[in-house]
Structure 1
Amino acid sequence: MQIAPDPAVTETALPAQPGFRLARGVARLLHSLGHAALCEFVPARGLRVDVIAITPKGEIWIVECKSCRADFTGDRKWQSYLEWSDRFFWAVDCDFPDGLLPEESGLIRADAYGAEILRDAPLTRMAAARRSRLTRDIARVASMRLQALHDPGAAGFGAGEI
């Protein structure tokens, strides 16, 4: 079954926070590339990535959205995300000072409505066991979120679980 988005809801439900707006644009880009993207995902205890995606080839991409200099300089965990992805990208808006971002990572320019890849991220393949576990976790969380949308009153769908 395919779920068609309601255009009225899609355009009026614009996230208020700049980072969430960037994540929405990034997810749209990734979807257009055939990737399965999931926002706000926890790959391991103490880590929360803005966007994680599985590509058609099975690669895992992580995209961290940074809305301003302070948002970037205050992020102390981003290097921990590298071991949970095959490719790591930053997503920033047109006013972000790109020179702050490490050149050994990918760069995406985004806004709430879309995004484009300005610099591809180098491929650093994860171990097969980690990829398998992460792929299952992504699928499980995505399925739980979809079920919660279809049946928000169902037991077991606490906000902290999905």
Structure 2
Amino acid sequence: MPGQLLARGVSRHLRGHDFVTVEELVPAPGLRVDVMALGPKGEIWIVECKSSRADFLADAKWQGYLAWCDRFFWAVGPAFPTELLPEGSGLMIADSYDAEILAMGPETKLAPARRKVMIQKFARHAAVRAQAARDPGFVLPFGG
């Protein structure tokens, strides 16, 4: 799973910036972000990992993610044709071990009520994943 390997490198890199991450979080019905990161001051970043041109071209939902974060980034491998990516987006070059932020996504602060909802979703998602890791036979009642 190339996208999951990119997500791992992104998560490792962001941990070095004091961010914690979860993968495959659903901010709203019909959306599932690859990586959501929570910073030390409550900032929320979303990172979409694209492993190929075809993977990028098949994604028509990414603009829906913008309303759920303070900053948005693409994470791609070193051989990815970055000219395909929308201008003004954040950009990370990643592999399975690390990443590098080449461009910061523009900051658009979330409203306080939406930030609270997202931090709660983040916490619940992380807790369900931790419980499932501790108890592999545990059935996730709401799809985790």
Q: TM-score range by the shorter chain?
A: over 0.9
Aligned with residue 64 of structure 1, among 28, 39, 48 = 48
Q: Percent identity of the aligned residues?
A: 56
> How far off its partner does 1:152 sit?
2.3
* Aligned position for 2:137: 153
Aligned with residue 89 of structure 2, among 105, 119, 134 = 105
Q: How does 1:128-143 map to 2 (within 5 A)?
A: 128-143=112-127
Q: How does 1:1-162 map to 2 (within 5 A)?
A: 17-154=1-138, 156-157=139-140, 161-162=143-144
How many residues are treated as equivalent by the alignment? 144
* Aligned position for 1:7: none
Q: TM-score of the superposition, structure 1-length normalised?
A: 0.85
Q: TM-score of the superposition, structure 2-length normalised?
A: 0.96
- Gap runs ≥5 in structure 2: none
> How far off its partner does 1:161 sit?
2.1
RMSD, matched Cα: 1.1
> How far off its partner does 1:157 sit?
2.6
Alignment partners' CA distance in 1, 2:71 and 2:23: 16
Alignment partners' CA distance in 2, 1:91 and 1:152: 30
Alignment partners' CA distance in 1, 2:34 and 2:120: 18
The Cα offsets for residues 71-101 of structure 1, whole Å up to 9 and x where unpaired, read as 1111100000000110000000010011111
Bigger Rg, structure 1 or 2: 1
